[in-house]
Amino acid sequence: MSLLAMLWYRRKPLLWAFMILVALVVVLARLSEIVGGVLQTRDLLVRSLAFGLLPPTLWALALALAVWKRRSLLRWQLWNLWLAALLGCMVVWGVLAYFSDYTGILGEFTLGGWVGKGVKGSSDVLGVFRLAGMALIVAATVFPGRSLRLMKWVLPRVGRRVGRLGKAVARLLIRRFEGLLARWREAHPRSRITVQRAPAPTVRGRPLDMGLQVQEPQTPEQIEEAGVVESGVSSQEKAPPRPSVPATAAKSPTESEREATNETRGGWALPALSLLSDAHRGGHEPGIDQEKTARLIERTLGEYGIEVKVAEIKPGPAVTMFGLVPGWIRRSREVREKNAEGNPVVDAMGRPVVREVEDKTRVKVGSIVAREKDLALALAAPSLRIEAPIPGLSLVGIEVPNTKPSIVTLRSVMESEAFQSLHSKSKLALALGRGSGGEVAIADLARMPHLLIAGSTGSGKSVCINSVIVSILMHNTPRETRLLLIDPKRVELTPYNAIPHLLIPVVVEVEIAVQALKGLIEEMQDRYKRMEKAEVRNIEGYNRSLPIEQRMPLIVVCVDELADLMMSAPYDIEHSIIKLAQLGRATGIHLVVATQRPSVDVVTGLIKANFPSRISFAVASQVDSRTILDSVGAEKLLGRGDMLFQPQDAPKPRRIQGAFVSDREIGDLVKYWRRQQGPLPPEIRLLEEEEAQRKELGDGGSGDELLKKAYDLATNYNRVSASLLQRRLRIGYSRAAHLMDLLEDAGVIAPGDPGKSREVLVASDKKRKQEE
């Protein structure tokens, strides 16, 4: 062995040459057989795969190159790409099977060989579908995640369409079968059953009235027309004839309530809900793909490292609420393992054993709120509102606007069980609309006890006031509730003129509004005196033991535009509203005040302090939102009834789509009350203008002390106005306006438009000396 080893190492080139020479001799001796085997192998490969041999060859070369040079391409994360490439070779074989050169060895086969022909199949048409299916499998292998989401989106829709198609086919077959059955019945007539009336039971010789409507005996022709069919054909024949029941007994409680006779109280009939429209315009479909939007929210936040999961979806009339559960922030770190004695554990090589530990911390709510604009960009939404957290739930709410908002009718809210339950407890139940989750939104004006409404032009402020008034008129007679409507714009509340609930006609002048509010203050003081004598604390206790004719009615004051009143008579209006708001609740006086300019000079601090319940529609800026709600959010509302309602007992405002009431519904309701001739309620006299002027200005003669002060003040200026008299003489607007009229009659000032400054025609002695 040692000799052979020495010869191998010393004579290696000679041995290699000898071995090669022996191999050549063997090859030359067997050359013909070797060439024949090679040709047979070539023909077999060509017939089997033909040009389809190229794709698997390229795949094998790529795999060998990855093993040799690029081991990173063999990671387990890329398994789907290698498998998809291998499956793609089969698709290429099938495609090549559709082509043939018709010459040479492939004359009787295709370019894909008999393997490609087997993949394609015997039918060319079916082969196309087979290859398309295989191509879809390849695509699904390349993109497994997207393919799974696509299947979740496609399969339910395809299932629904298949189900509809199946129902249509079933209906078609049923109709066809019914036609065949009808023709069979005509060809095979059977005997009819004649139904006779049973004798009525009697008690002591008198017929017993069972309270049912019993029909007279019918002829066979009448029975056939009434739907009595042949015996043995339908199950309806075997059932005994049921006595007819009155129509009202078969209807639902809601329908019978709508069609029942109007409820009467104190000689007045309340209107039925059928007077309002029940048309649901816009439908109930939100117009957005909820599942797609939920996945998009999760993916968008995930791109910024914020893990969330959509746990709840509530579609509403204007927005859809997506409830998010904050996820976890995961961080991994390496920790050395230790034994029971606390010493590090080492492996066989003496190295310390290290294991990976994952630390989790909850995602901060502030990080979700900070991505509001990024979410709005991803969802292509005009604005988003994030409620963090949703009151009463451990969720973060994201309100996404619907592409097809639906209109909430006032009747649909009033017919709900929640409103009916509240109406049974309070006479001033208000139907506001529906929340962001579609739930009914209602309120009790008696508990508020006053309501402040603000919003820009066209946001739905006046419609909300109309909804409040209609809610009161639908469930209260003039003996129960009276209204004082103030409308400086002259067009919003004037349609309610001449209804019996009004204390006075709708007020459109500032002077009359000031006097009406002062007269209401006197009425409030008079009610307090009456309750003091009766030894009760509020109007409920006063009315509890009295008949309806002697009870004090509730009074609701609605002001459509506070800004116009505050510009003309700020002192008188603010003083009257604050006094009524502070003391009016116990006497049954409630205020509903609206303005389109929620600035600090209109909604003052004292007014806000006495109006704990507020509604804000869409406003222009965050400053206006803070003025009305003490928080931001109203500047992101969508308009057209979209509002934030801040109750007196809630920590955060609630988003509501306001109920819509049309002009036609208001007109029908006003006509209904105008046509009634019930007993007139007790008259509540507000302070008249002439009486007020006598009380404030005395006899109004030239010797009046206040008129002398106004004369001296006017003659010291070139121009004078009612606001100047208010500031200098510390009087109200009505008194200053009357003084301007007296100065004009005396020739001291020139005529002019009310509310504007006027030229002074008479100069004082001091002023004449200065001019000289």
Over range 401-425, report the average pLDDT.
Answer: 90
DSSP per residue, 306-333: --EEEEEEEE-SSEEEEEEEE-EEEEEE
Over range 624-646, report the average pLDDT.
Answer: 90
pTM of the entire predicted model: 0.58
- Compute φ and ψ for 254, nearest 5 degrees: -65, -45
Where residue 557 falls among pLDDT bands split at 50, 70, 90? very high
Q: What is the pLDDT of residue 310?
A: 93
**643: pLDDT strictly greater than 90:** yes
Region for residue 36 given its phi and psi (left: phi exceeds 0; alpha: psi -120 to 50; beta: otherwise): alpha
**593: pLDDT strictly greater than 50:** yes
Secondary structure in 3-state letters for 550-578: CCCCEEEEEECCHHHHHHHCHHHHHHHHH
**215: pLDDT strictly greater than 70:** no
Q: Are 559 and 512 in contact (CB under 8 A)?
A: no
**473: pLDDT strictly greater than 70:** yes
Q: Which residue has the higher pLDDT, 704 or 93?
A: 93
Cα(725)–Cα(713) distance, integer angstroms = 8
Q: Going by C-beta distance under 8 Å and a sequence separation of 6 or more, which residues neighbour residue 302?
A: 308
**pLDDT tens digits along 651-677:** 889 999 999 999 999 999 999 999 988
Q: What is the pLDDT of residue 586?
A: 93
**342: pLDDT strictly greater than 70:** yes
**pLDDT tens digits along 698-746:** 444 433 678 888 888 888 888 888 888 887 887 877 788 888 888 888 8
Over range 271-298, report the average pLDDT.
Answer: 78
Q: Which residue has the higher pLDDT, 573 or 762?
A: 573
Q: Are 603 and 627 in contact (CB under 8 A)?
A: yes
**237: pLDDT strictly greater than 50:** no
Q: Which of 279, 301, 297 is nearest to 288 (CA)?
A: 297
Check whether the bond before 389 is cis (ω within 30° of 0). Answer: yes
Q: What is the pLDDT of residue 651?
A: 83
**248: pLDDT strictly greater than 60:** no
For β-strands 613-616 and 451-454, DSSP reports them as: parallel
Q: What is the pLDDT of residue 734?
A: 76
Pull the structure tokens for residue 290.
């909820």
**pLDDT tens digits along 153-207:** 888 888 888 888 888 888 888 877 777 777 776 676 654 444 344 444 444 444 4
Over range 549-571, report the average pLDDT.
Answer: 89
Q: Which residue has the higher pLDDT, 462 or 9?
A: 462
**152: pLDDT strictly greater than 90:** no
194 Cα distance to chain centroid: 59
CA atoms within 13 A on the CB side of 57: 7
Over range 309-318, report the average pLDDT.
Answer: 90
Mean pLDDT of the chain: 78
Q: What is the pLDDT of residue 109?
A: 60
Where residue 688 falls among pLDDT bands split at 50, 70, 90? low
